[in-house]
C-alpha cells in the first residue's frame, strides 16, 4: 500500500511536470511570434512606398521590352542560385530593356537581350547566392554604364531621369498588394506613368496604375555617353 501511495504521488508529479513543460513551450512559442512580429514591423518600416504621378508627359520613344517568362531564357538560373529568370528575373529583364531601349533611341551603347544579360551577370559574379544583383559588382563589371542606387524614392528624381532620356527601374507590389516586383518606367500618358512590365507576355508597356502607382525602391542603369 505504501508503495502504491508513493507511485501515485510520483505519477502526479510527472503529470504536473508535463503541464509545466507544455506551458513553458507555449510561452516560448508566443515569445517567438511576438519577436517575429516586431522584426517584421521594423523591416517593413522603410517599405511603406510612395505613390507617384508625373507632373508632365514624357514620350517613351522606342521601347524594347523583355518578358522574364520568355521560353528562350525562362529556365536559366540567376548565377549560381536556385532562382530562375521566370521566377525572379524581373530586375535583370528591366536593366536589359533599359540599356537596349536607350541604344535604340540614342544609338549609345548596345542592345542586349534579357537572356544574354543574365548570362553576362552570372559569368561576372554580379549575383549573390540568393540571385540578387550586387550593385557594386555591377558597376565593376560594366564601367561603361552609370549605376544609380537611390537611398529613397524621390518623385522629382524619377522625373529628372526621364527628362534626361533615362529609364528608372522601380520596385512595386504586383497589383498593389502582391509580391514585390520590378518594372521599368518608360514615360507617361494622361497623368499616369507607363512601364515595361517583365511579367507581361512580351514585356509590354502598361500603366503603372496596374500596381496602384506605389513605388518602394528606385534604381537606374544607363549607358554613359
Q: What is the mean pLDDT of residues 79-97?
A: 98
Q: Where does residue 61 rank: exposed (0-12), middle (13-18), buried (19+ CB within 10 A)?
A: middle
Q: What is the mean pLDDT of residues 210-216?
A: 98
- DSSP-derived secondary structure for 171-198: EEEGGGTSSEEEEEEEEEETTEEEEE-T
Q: Which residue has the cell 504586383?
A: 174
Closest CA to 126 of 82, 81, 163, 167: 81
- 122-155 pLDDT per residue, tens: 999 999 999 999 999 999 999 999 999 999 999 9
* C-alpha dihedral sign at 108, 109, 113, 117: negative
pLDDT band at 225 (very low <50, low <70, confident <90, very high): confident
What local confidence, expressed as pLDDT, does residue 1 receive? 43
Contact 135, 169 (CB under 8 A): no
Q: What is the mean pLDDT of residues 87-106?
A: 97
Of 34 and 54, the one with more pLDDT: 54
* Residues found in the chain: 225
User: Looking at 14-28, 119-133, 140-154, 167-181, which range is the least confident one?
Assistant: 14-28
Q: What is the mean pLDDT of residues 54-83?
A: 97
Amino acid at each position: 500500500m505504501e508503495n502504491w501511495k508513493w507511485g501515485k504521488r510520483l505519477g502526479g508529479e510527472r503529470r504536473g511536470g508535463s503541464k509545466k513543460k507544455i506551458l513553458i513551450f507555449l510561452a516560448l512559442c508566443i515569445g517567438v511570434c511576438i519577436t517575429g512580429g516586431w522584426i517584421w514591423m521594423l523591416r517593413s518600416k522603410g517599405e511603406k512606398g510612395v505613390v507617384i504621378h508625373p507632373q508632365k508627359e514624357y514620350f517613351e520613344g522606342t521601347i524594347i521590352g523583355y518578358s522574364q517568362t520568355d521560353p528562350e531564357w525562362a529556365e536559366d538560373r540567376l548565377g549560381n542560385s536556385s532562382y530562375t529568370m521566370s521566377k525572379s528575373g524581373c530586375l535583370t529583364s528591366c536593366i536589359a530593356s533599359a540599356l537596349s531601349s536607350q541604344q535604340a533611341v540614342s544609338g549609345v551603347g548596345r542592345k542586349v537581350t534579357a537572356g544574354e544579360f543574365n548570362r553576362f551577370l552570372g559569368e561576372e559574379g554580379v549575383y549573390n547566392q540568393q540571385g540578387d544583383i550586387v550593385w557594386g559588382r555591377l558597376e565593376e563589371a560594366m564601367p561603361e554604364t552609370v549605376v544609380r542606387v537611390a537611398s529613397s524614392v524621390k518623385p522629382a528624381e524619377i522625373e529628372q531621369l526621364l527628362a534626361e532620356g533615362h529609364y528608372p527601374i522601380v520596385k512595386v507590389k504586383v497589383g498593389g498588394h502582391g509580391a514585390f516586383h520590378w518594372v521599368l518606367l518608360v514615360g507617361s500618358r494622361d497623368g499616369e506613368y507607363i512601364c515595361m512590365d517583365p511579367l507581361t507576355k512580351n514585356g509590354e508597356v502598361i500603366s503603372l496604375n496596374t500596381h496602384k502607382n506605389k513605388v518602394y525602391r528606385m534604381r537606374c542603369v544607363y549607358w554613359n555617353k
